Structure 1
Amino acid sequence: MSKILAHDRLILALDVPSAAEAERLMDQVQNQITFVKVGLELYTAAGPSMVQRLIERGKRVFLDLKFLDIEETVRRATERVAAMGVEFLTVHANRKALAAAVKGRGNSSLKLLAVTVLTNFDTHDLREMGIQHSVQDLVTARALLASETGCDGVVASGEEPGVLRPKVGPRFLIVTPGVRPAGKDTDDHARATTPSQTIAAGADYLVVGRPIRAASDPAAAASAILAEMQAAFDRRS
């Protein structure tokens, strides 16, 4: 089994309001970060050109747009994303949307991640939506649906990988946002975990935003997280 390198598995969330701020943050973290997430805020502000600029800088890109629409719209939008050279794309865990995205990515290398339950949701939030399942049961059901429809993995909080891994197998990707180093504020994430906890539970990729973006020295913050991640991956191996 080849060694897992934390440098390949840390994804920086570029949740900033402009291309200029994204570029400035990338300059600050320099070569500490090779994989970045572009979400709704930055994509709305800067569009596909921002994605291309990141790819030209040699970065891997996770496009977190959480597609959910009629099948034809999802299929065609996924085709456009695949043509951009993006590595990961999120789609809400709805059977029709997932199947359309799988069709849309064709033979490209784009990996599709199903969004299970947002990390700021808890059981109370699900009840308000009329969902009677527990968070864990719903995440599990949606992960199995994603696997069944041909997706490559899921986005799930750090509380779920330990439950999911035995059910979805070793090759199914588990990408975890809302990761916070010990002692850091969990912000608006209801199910936040530390890097060590998340990796020990079975996650493959960790998405970290504010602990790096808001640090006085983003490169140093990223380096500390990478060190913790590497130690956790080594212990897991």
Structure 2
Amino acid sequence: MIILLFIGSLLVVLLFIGYILTSITTANTTPKVETKEEPGDNDYEYSVSPNTATRRYFELTEKAGVLYRNKKYYESLNCCYQIIANIENIKKEFSDIKYCNKDFIFYTLMNLFQIGINDIGDKTFKGICSSDIITEGRLKEDIKSQIDSEINYNMNADIVKNVIQYFGNLNILSEIEISDYLQEINLTLKNKEKYLADKEKINKVIFDSLKNGKIRQKEIYKLLPGLDGRYILPFIKDLEKQKIIVREKEGKDYFIYLKK
């Protein structure tokens, strides 16, 4: 009797151990189901599959930048036009586009200031305005920022003026804003004329003075009494940078002479 009870208890223990081992084996062999996290604000690029409208959007934006930097403005603008022509499909796939950087808009503006308003430029810009991917206020800020960077000595003033007037005709810039910009352009052109005239005058004095050899830098200042020495110095340094003259310090003075 005692032997039978012992055998029964042993069987119960063995059955329990077998159950435990079976549970562990099942847990280890059951495949895990991983949950995929939703893309965050900065992860949208990685959720885009190849050959989609959104992928093409990124490719065209990058291409527009490369072409612009290589001064292929018409080709760059055409990339921007292709984006805006397909913007509705892009918006369906890229729901965050309104809240992300849209560099192709800047490339559009930069190209317009290089080549002026043509048919493709007009369609591209008006497409941007009606695309609902940027607010009117933000677009105006981008335009004003670009205008500020375009007004300089090297600008094509006629093109810059025409593009500004174009934005005025679309009621993006007010008449007062247009007037202020045109005055700034005219002042820049006037300053450029003075700069070029001063450059020619200063260079002539320098070259005439150096015909007989080395001269003190301060002597150049004395030969140009109508100009401040601090204004003249950059012109001298520019000639040095071009390796036309040499500046050497001797004691407390600088001497300059023509480079051989």
| Bucket of the pairwise TM-score, normalised by the shorter protein | under 0.3
**Whose RCO is larger (CA < 8 A, sep 6+)?**
1
Higher alpha-carbon Rg: 2
Indicate the structure with greater strand content. 1
